[in-house]
Amino acid sequence: EVQLVQSGAEVKKPGESLNISCETSGYSFTSHWIAWVRQMPGGGLEWMGIIYPEDSDVKYSPSFQGQVTISADKSTSTAYLQWRSLKASDTAKYYCARLQGYYNSYGDFWGQGTLVTISS
Amino acid sequence: SYVLTQPPSVSVAPGKTARITCEADNIESKSVHWYQQKPGQAPMLVIHFDSDRPSGIPERVSGSNSGNTATLTLSRVEAGDEADYYCQVWDSTSDHFNWVFGGGTKLTVL
């Protein structure tokens, strides 16, 4: 059974760093791209970036380039989303999703989401 | 950039048919995928490649794509169908990987 299990909710202050995770199981981690998707409070879905765990090839949405870092650890089948300096506007729920394919791709399995709250 | 436009809300009585549209320029040239998101839950794929249902999605959920409009159709709507629905395409017109989501449609079952 394919599963993506994300780390728990986080409450941080502006300027702090943060690393959230997406642990996968039930399939070959290195054979599928993983995407990170943001959902702001009351808002829609926004694609942030994708990573191919086999070679850690990463592609960022222009909207998030330079704002976050996406990485993966093949030894633990886990993908990560990292911030160096959080802002209040980073408050959102973040989802990881396994991509089926690349061209014309879609997310066939999703993590449960990680709620990130940034408040002073 | 490629923009997908969805109606903010659609209302339907139980047992009737709900149609949720996703409009964009020449969208029929792209593959459209649809997700259902219930309150407090992660998105779930309900249609891929315009009209294919993943395993476990009932036959009363269907999709189509023609001209400038893709449509998600839910027949014999049930209370459990109440959710937000998002369309998504992979935009090949940009020079980099680009997922595009519609703004989402809230389906209300009356």
Report the distance separating Cα A104 and Cα B74, nearest Å.
23
Report the distance separating Cα A62 and Cα A54, nearest Å.
23
pLDDT value of residue A53? 97
Contacts of A59 in chain B (CB under 8 A): 96-97
B36 interfaces chain A, CB cutoff of 8 Å = no
A75: pLDDT strictly greater than 90: yes
> In whole angstroms, how large is the CA radius of gyration of chain B?
13
pLDDT value of residue B95? 65
Residue of A nearest to B6 (CA): A44
DSSP annotation string for A2-62: -EEEEPPPEEE-TT--EEEEEEEESS-GGGS-EEEEEE-TT--EEEEEEEETTTTEEEE-T
Kindly report, residue by residue over B10-68, the tens digit of the pLDDT.
999 999 999 999 999 999 999 999 999 999 999 999 999 999 999 999 999 999 999 99
Q: How large a percentage of chain A has pLDDT more than 70? A: 100
